[in-house]
Amino acid sequence: MCAATADTPETPGDTVPGDTTPEDKMEAVLNLSKRRGFVFPSAEIYGGFRSTYDYGPIGVLLLRNVKDAWWRSMVQLRHDVVGLDASILTPPAVWQASGHLANFTDPLVDCRNCKERFRLDKLDDPEVCPNCGKHGTFTEARQFNLMFKTHAGPVESAGTEAYLRPETAQGMFMNFANVLNTSRKKPPFGIAQVGKSFRNEITPGNFVFRTREFEQMEMEFFVPPAEADEWYRYWCAERFRWYVELGIPEDELRLRPHDPDELSHYSSGTSDVEFAFPWGWDELEGIANRGDYDLTAHADASGEKLDFFDQATGERYRPHVIEPAAGATRTMMAFLLSAFHTETVRDETRTVLRLHPRLAPYKVAVLPLSKKPELAGVAAEVLNLVQPRWMCDYDETQAIGRRYRRQDELGTPFCVTVDFDTLEDRAVTVRDRDSMDQVRVPIDALVDHLGDVLGL
Ligand code: ATP
């Protein structure tokens, strides 16, 4: 490997870290999301639609990588967890038994002065309207059920009612016996699912933090009752570690055990993994020790035996459940915020997303130095080598420095530049997003080199 020729290398010594306030950072991330194709407001040509969002060409890759990283850690790398993809449309009987029809509510208040609506439990001061500042203008709180109701089939009658699931978890309880009978797993074992959930939130907001349509990554871990506390502690530690391993610094995360008055009546312990969002600490994931509440509720309502019979010991029992429940879209936002950095490089601002390679939308960008036809053939050859292994971008417009900046904003860990020397020496320049170091690598060794530096 010899010195680079694609660009005058920028060295970390040229760099001064940026200094952004949390408000500026939020603004800058929103701006970047729109400008670079991470997230767009839905139905924007019609003025947008009530806090719903579409994931653009870059955002769909990032979100998919977050979900894949979760699946890899929760299913692929374990022998004791299996996957599931259950239906979103669910009959009322499920929500009747689970308690959602009666209890999945938020307290809603209206301000009589400005007519704005709020979730009472999220107000800083339950007496003062945060919109108009008036005191004592709230109506009595009403319990508002967050589930979206619809009808399955052409006739709208009581018998055709269905709900869009507000969580993926019930799919795992519905299939507990199916999985037991088909998978050869026995407690302790888990069922994991990633998918869309819907909640008619009273106050959606903070970008994709709280939306009415969102994605969850949930796992129900069924354990012998005597082991529940131990597994609860295990999953709290394990889930915290996942965020840290994927690059969120520990000082931007905390594990907050719920106070006894916050706990659901059936839970003997719940802890939230929280992230330091620009507006303060807020939840990414909840890990709950749910006892046998769910299986008992469904066994009683359905008449099915939702127990485990251990043939080896002759023992029959109802497993307890530990549930780590995370939001994929909300977590994607935390990874974006945490990775976002600005710095001054040779008097210019550089914005860089220091995303973990596993999460980066593109792992590699192939950039021919110019559009000249001589370079097109060898650039295509390089792309064909790299593309089957990793998601790649290919870009031949603009000056190379501008293209590097664009890839920095997309979080691409490595740029591979094909230049005129490549035609002579059959080597390319590989530029590192974070250090901005450049090294010359023979094309024949490129895939191995990228495999090493990406660690993927
Ligand atoms: P919150 O208190 O923020 O409403 P929750 O405690 O009701 O959340 P859970 O029911 O535990 O949330 O859902 C598990 C995870 O699903 C949450 O930690 C969050 O990451 C995600 N989630 C829940 N509601 C939403 C939403 N409206 N938009 C985006 N993600 C959500």
Q: What distances in angstroms separate CA 239 from CA 26, 69, 73, 119, 326, one per listed residue?
A: 25, 12, 10, 29, 9
In a domain, 326, yes or no: yes
Instruction: Name the pLDDT band for 6 (thresholds 50, 70, 90).
Output: very low
Claim to verify: residue 247 and residue 327 sit in the same structural domain:
yes
What is the model's pLDDT at position 12?
58
Claim to verify: residue 371 and residue 302 sit in the same structural domain:
no
Residue of 108, 119, 216, 267 best suited for mutating to test ligand 1, as the one with most atoms within 8 Å of CB? 216
Q: Number of folded domains in the chain?
A: 2
Claim to verify: residue 383 and residue 265 sit in the same structural domain:
no
What is the model's pLDDT at position 267?
86
pLDDT tens, 326-379? Answer: 999 999 999 999 999 999 988 889 999 999 999 999 999 999 999 999 999 999
What is the model's pLDDT at position 5?
43
Claim to verify: residue 293 and residue 371 sit in the same structural domain:
no
Strand duo 117-119 + 105-110: pairing:
antiparallel
**Percent residues over pLDDT 90 in the chain:** 88
Tell me how far the alpha carbon of residue 383 lies from the centroid of ligand 1, in angstroms: 40
Claim to verify: residue 369 and residue 330 sit in the same structural domain:
no
Is the separation of the CB atoms in 269 and 304 below 8 Å?
A: no
Count of alpha carbons within 13 angstroms of residue 311, beta-carbon side: 5
**Percent residues over pLDDT 70 in the chain:** 96
Q: What distances in angstroms separate CA 178 from CA 170, 215, 314, one per listed residue?
A: 14, 24, 20
Residue 7 has pLDDT above 70, yes or no: no
Is the separation of the CB atoms in 443 and 419 below 8 Å?
A: no
Claim to verify: residue 217 and residue 172 sit in the same structural domain:
yes
Cβ of 327 closer than 6 Å to ligand 1, yes or no, is yes
Claim to verify: residue 83 and residue 204 sit in the same structural domain:
yes
Query: For the residues 176-186, what does the mean pLDDT come to?
Result: 96
Claim to verify: residue 222 and residue 248 sit in the same structural domain:
yes
Instruction: Name the pLDDT band for 159 (thresholds 50, 70, 90).
Output: confident
Give the ligand 1 atom nearest the CA of 106: 4
Q: What distances in angstroms separate CA 101 from CA 93, 104, 150, 275, 295, one per listed residue?
A: 9, 6, 14, 30, 17
In a domain, 200, yes or no: yes
Cβ of 211 closer than 6 Å to ligand 1, yes or no, is yes
Tell me how far the alpha carbon of residue 48 lies from the centroid of ligand 1, in angstroms: 23
Cβ of 199 closer than 6 Å to ligand 1, yes or no, is yes
Q: Last residue of a domain, which of 301, 319, 336?
A: 336
Q: Which amino acid belongs to residue 291?
A: G
Strand duo 269-277 + 213-223: pairing:
unpaired
Predicted TM-score of the model (pTM): 0.94
Domain limits for position 418: 12-20+362-454
Cβ of 218 closer than 6 Å to ligand 1, yes or no, is no
Tell me how far the alpha carbon of residue 411 lies from the centroid of ligand 1, in angstroms: 27
In a domain, 102, yes or no: no
Q: Last residue of a domain, which of 320, 336, 352?
A: 336
Query: For the residues 216-232, what does the mean pLDDT come to?
Result: 98
Claim to verify: residue 378 and residue 260 sit in the same structural domain:
no
Claim to verify: residue 176 and residue 266 sit in the same structural domain:
yes
Structural tokens at position 96 = 């009747």
Tell me how far the alpha carbon of residue 155 lies from the centroid of ligand 1, in angstroms: 33
pLDDT tens, 197-220? Answer: 999 999 999 999 999 999 999 999
What is the model's pLDDT at position 11?
62
Residue 2 has pLDDT above 80, yes or no: no
Give the ligand 1 atom nearest the CA of 326: 15
What CATH number does residue 414 fall under?
3.40.50.800
Tell me how far the alpha carbon of residue 199 lies from the centroid of ligand 1, in angstroms: 9
What is the model's pLDDT at position 51?
86
Instruction: Name the pLDDT band for 281 (thresholds 50, 70, 90).
Output: very high
Residue 43 has pLDDT above 70, yes or no: yes
Residue 14 has pLDDT above 70, yes or no: no
38 vs 4, more confident? 38
In a domain, 3, yes or no: no
Cβ of 282 closer than 6 Å to ligand 1, yes or no, is no
Instruction: Name the pLDDT band for 9 (thresholds 50, 70, 90).
Output: low
Residue 5 to residue 389: CA distance in whole angstroms = 26
Residue of 121, 262, 330 best suited for mutating to test ligand 1, as the one with most atoms within 8 Å of CB? 330
In a domain, 125, yes or no: no
Exposed / middle / buried, residue 42 (Cβ in 10 Å: 0-12, 13-18, 19+) = middle
Is the separation of the CB atoms in 192 and 71 below 8 Å?
A: yes
Residue 402 to residue 237: CA distance in whole angstroms = 42
What is the model's pLDDT at position 13?
59
Mean pLDDT of all residues in the chain?
A: 94
Please name which of 286, 209, 287, 275 lies closest in space to residue 248, comparing C-alpha atoms.
Answer: 275
Task: Please tell me the total number of residues recorded for the chain in this structure.
Answer: 456
Give the ligand 1 atom nearest the CA of 216: 16
Query: For the residues 279-307, what does the mean pLDDT come to?
Result: 97
Query: For the residues 431-444, what does the mean pLDDT come to?
Result: 97
In a domain, 255, yes or no: yes
Tell me how far the alpha carbon of residue 65 lies from the centroid of ligand 1, in angstroms: 20
Contacts of the segment 176-182: beta carbons below 8 A, 24+ positions apart? 176/220, 176/222, 176/295, 176/306, 177/304, 177/305, 177/306, 179/82, 179/84, 180/308
Residue identifier of the C-alpha nearest atom 23 of ligand 1: 327
In a domain, 110, yes or no: no
Residue 248 to residue 257: CA distance in whole angstroms = 20
Claim to verify: residue 412 and residue 330 sit in the same structural domain:
no
In a domain, 177, yes or no: yes
Q: Last residue of a domain, which of 336, 352, 384?
A: 336
What end-to-end distance do the CA atoms of the chain give, in Å? 22
Claim to verify: residue 84 and residue 207 sit in the same structural domain:
yes
